[in-house]
């Protein structure tokens, strides 16, 4: 356990080193969030009745999405893992007394958390001061807030679990580029990163909400603002737990198989 904590600490401290990068990153994300909200405002102006959620709920969604980008977005993949696999260096990792899946999992968690912690506070603070309905609202209930935190944690784990599948897939193709590209473009849309899922027509939305992608950011972001509440919320969280379990089990089985191949081929 200590090993994993020290991985975590090293990554974290490393992330804090880059001061200007942090400032610039925050400014970038802020600008991005701002522009996104303006797009939705334009649509709202065009036809407010067709807007599937309260505008303030949408603003909260966007700001939380930006603040916790590093937690939710699949494209924060670890290049070190890809190059270790494609270069064959993975053989060295196998000679160490650690569980590879667990190590990668915690490594990815650490990277994402360290990035998110740096970014989230400034963005959230500024967003809190924006005039409503453009800013972020306070959570609508304490219980809801707890549920939000739970959902967010589950979402993070789901994202990492899915990333693991992407890493493992590259054992078989030796070209991380292809897998990444297809996986990323698919998940981007389906997870609600392009437009929040409520904006999709109902029949499409129902299908997407059943996929693991909807558990990645869609759920926590909507729980926060109360867009999803009550029994729907409980259902969503249990779906998250379900998908997380499936992804982790699949990952662990698959990595065992993949590593066996590596040993047979000699890397």
> Of the candidates 5, 27, 94, 234, which one interacts with another protein according to CB under 8 A?
27
> Of the candidates 3, 5, 6, 16, which one interacts with another protein according to CB under 8 A?
16
> Sign of dihedral through CA atoms 187, 246, 157, 192?
positive
Question: Burial of 1 by CB count in 10 Å (0-12 exposed, 13-18 middle, 19+ buried)?
Answer: exposed
Residue placing its CB nearer to another protein in the complex, 192 or 212: 192
Q: Which residue bears the tokens 């494209």?
A: 75
Site string for another protein, 181-200 (x = CB under 8 A): xx-xxx-xx----xx---xx
140 lines the binding site for another protein (CB under 8 A): no
6 lines the binding site for another protein (CB under 8 A): no
Complete DSSP assignment for 205-255: HHHHHTSGGGGTTHHHHHHHTTSS-HHHHHHHHHHHHHHHHHHHHHHHHHH
> Of the candidates 3, 5, 6, 9, which one interacts with another protein according to CB under 8 A?
9
> Of the candidates 24, 207, 253, 263, which one interacts with another protein according to CB under 8 A?
24
How many residues touch another protein (CB under 8 A)?
Answer: 44
Radius of gyration of the chain (CA): 19
Q: Which of residues 197-256 bind another protein (CB under 8 A)?
A: 199-201, 204
The region of 87-95, 171-179, 223-231, 244-252 touching another protein under the rule CB under 8 A is 171-179
The region of 37-45, 65-73, 96-104, 149-157 touching another protein under the rule CB under 8 A is 37-45
176 Cβ partners below 8 Å, 6+ apart? Answer: 82, 85, 86, 170
Question: Burial of 136 by CB count in 10 Å (0-12 exposed, 13-18 middle, 19+ buried)?
Answer: buried
> Of the candidates 4, 7, 43, 140, which one interacts with another protein according to CB under 8 A?
43
12 lines the binding site for another protein (CB under 8 A): yes
Question: Burial of 262 by CB count in 10 Å (0-12 exposed, 13-18 middle, 19+ buried)?
Answer: middle
Do 139 and 145 contact (CB within 8 A), yes or no?
A: yes
Which residues of this chain interact with another protein, rule CB under 8 A? Answer: 9, 12-13, 16-25, 27-28, 31-32, 35, 38-39, 42-43, 45-47, 50, 52, 175, 177-178, 180-182, 184-186, 188-189, 194-195, 199-201, 204
């Amino acid at each position: 356990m200590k090993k994993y904590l020290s991985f975590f600490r090293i990554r974290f401290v490393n992330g804090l080193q880059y001061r200007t990068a942090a400032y610039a990153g925050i400014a970038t994300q802020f600008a991005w969030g701002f522009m996104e909200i303006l797009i939705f405002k334009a649509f709202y102006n065009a036809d407010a009745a067709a807007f599937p959620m309260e505008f303030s709920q949408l603003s909260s969604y966007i700001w939380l999405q930006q603040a916790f980008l590093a937690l939710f977005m699949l494209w924060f993949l670890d290049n070190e893992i890809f190059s270790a696999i494609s270069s064959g260096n993975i053989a060295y990792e196998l000679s160490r007394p650690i569980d590879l899946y667990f190590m990668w999992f915690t490594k990815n968690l650490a990277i994402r958390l360290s990035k998110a912690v740096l970014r989230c506070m400034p963005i959230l603070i500024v967003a809190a001061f924006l005039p409503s309905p453009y800013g972020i609202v306070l959570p609508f209930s304490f219980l809801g807030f707890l549920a939000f935190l739970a959902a967010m944690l589950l979402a993070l784990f789901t994202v990492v679990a899915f990333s693991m599948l992407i890493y493992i897939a590259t054992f078989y193709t030796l070209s991380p580029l292809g897998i990444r590209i297809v996986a990323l473009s698919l998940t981007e849309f389906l997870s609600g990163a392009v437009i929040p899922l409520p904006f999709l027509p109902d029949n499409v939305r129902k299908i997407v909400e059943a996929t693991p992608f909807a558990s990645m950011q869609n759920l926590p972001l909507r729980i926060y603002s109360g867009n999803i509440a009550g029994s729907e919320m409980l259902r969503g969280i249990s779906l998250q737990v379900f998908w997380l379990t499936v992804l982790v089990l699949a990952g662990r089985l698959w990595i065992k198989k993949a590593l066996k191949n590596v040993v047979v081929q000699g890397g």
